[in-house]
Amino acid sequence: MLANLRFLPGVPWLLPATALWLWLFWRWMNGGWWPPSTATSRRRDLRARPLSGSVWRWSLLAGGLGLVSVMAFGLLLARFADIPRDTYKLPVELSTLPPWTVISILLAISVSAGVVEEAAFRGYLISPIARRHGWPIAILVSGLMFYLAHLNHAYLTLAHLPFFLAISALNGLLVYLTGSILPAIVLHASADLLFIPLKYGLVGNLHAEPIWRTGVDSAFLICLAITLLFGFAAIPAFRRLAGVVREGGGTPS
């Protein structure tokens, strides 16, 4: 991305470059190439298991409902921290770039985050811990490490920790039920693609004053309602997903 901003910024050549890099990354993480002695363990721990159409549909429905709830929950938590407006600034200036270059940058960042972070936290990290200590401990450790890995973000505070635990629980539950990180990758990338422009003020502005200054205002109540409504709606969808997996002969692993 930085190279593209410096060389030929009007041509979004970072997109095919990112696609090539992700393809190489995925092939190796999924057991390809050298060393052959680790191929089986890499493929097992990545959990890139293909899914049937029905499992895909219910995974995206249940995960999508849960994701809306968790993202609204994250906006609620941000109201309990005094976050300066300047922390929501991108490290690069995008206003002078053509729209197709900006869209390509957002797409590359979102897809890279979805693939790499889910492979790391809900694949390679969760898998060995779940085998030794069980899924609840594995998902909890994944959430804590997911939070620590994002501490370089200027806007992040301790108030955001429950959000990272919640998003890790959501994606971890999807992996537990389906045995695959693929739905979590799609949902993670989609959420980033939608929220990064909002978070950094490219479209609208998510910044809000802390609740002790504004009191319980309409924005807070709307986020609370979305959190609860979509969270409760996700429960039967996850139950149906578990049933579809069982009907197809799949078992959590």
pLDDT digits (tens, 9 = 90+) for 113-146: 999 999 999 999 999 999 999 999 999 999 999 9
Residue 251: is its pLDDT beyond 80?
Answer: no
Q: Residues near 223 by Cβ (< 8 Å), separated by ≥ 6?
A: 72, 73, 75, 76, 79
User: Is residue 147 domain-resident?
Assistant: yes
* Per-residue model confidence (pLDDT) at position 86: 72
Number of domains making up the chain: 1
pLDDT tier for residue 180 given thresholds of 50, 70 and 90: very high
Residue 252: is its pLDDT beyond 70?
Answer: no
pTM equals: 0.94
Nearest of 240, 216, 251, 209 to residue 84 by alpha carbon:
209
Integer angstrom CA distances of residue 50 from 47, 180, 231: 9, 7, 27
pLDDT tier for residue 155 given thresholds of 50, 70 and 90: confident
User: Is residue 46 domain-resident?
Assistant: no
Dihedral sign, Cα of residue 142, residue 143, residue 148, residue 149: positive
User: Is residue 148 domain-resident?
Assistant: yes
- Ramachandran angles phi, psi of 134, nearest 5°: 95, 165
pLDDT digits (tens, 9 = 90+) for 59-98: 999 999 999 999 999 999 999 988 877 777 777 777 788 8
User: Is residue 32 domain-resident?
Assistant: no
pLDDT tier for residue 2 given thresholds of 50, 70 and 90: confident
Residue 228: is its pLDDT beyond 60?
Answer: yes
User: Is residue 125 domain-resident?
Assistant: yes
Query: Are the CB atoms for 48 and 182 separated by under 8 Å?
Result: yes
User: Is residue 1 domain-resident?
Assistant: no
User: Is residue 156 domain-resident?
Assistant: yes
Which residues span the domain enclosing 175? 53-247
User: Is residue 31 domain-resident?
Assistant: no
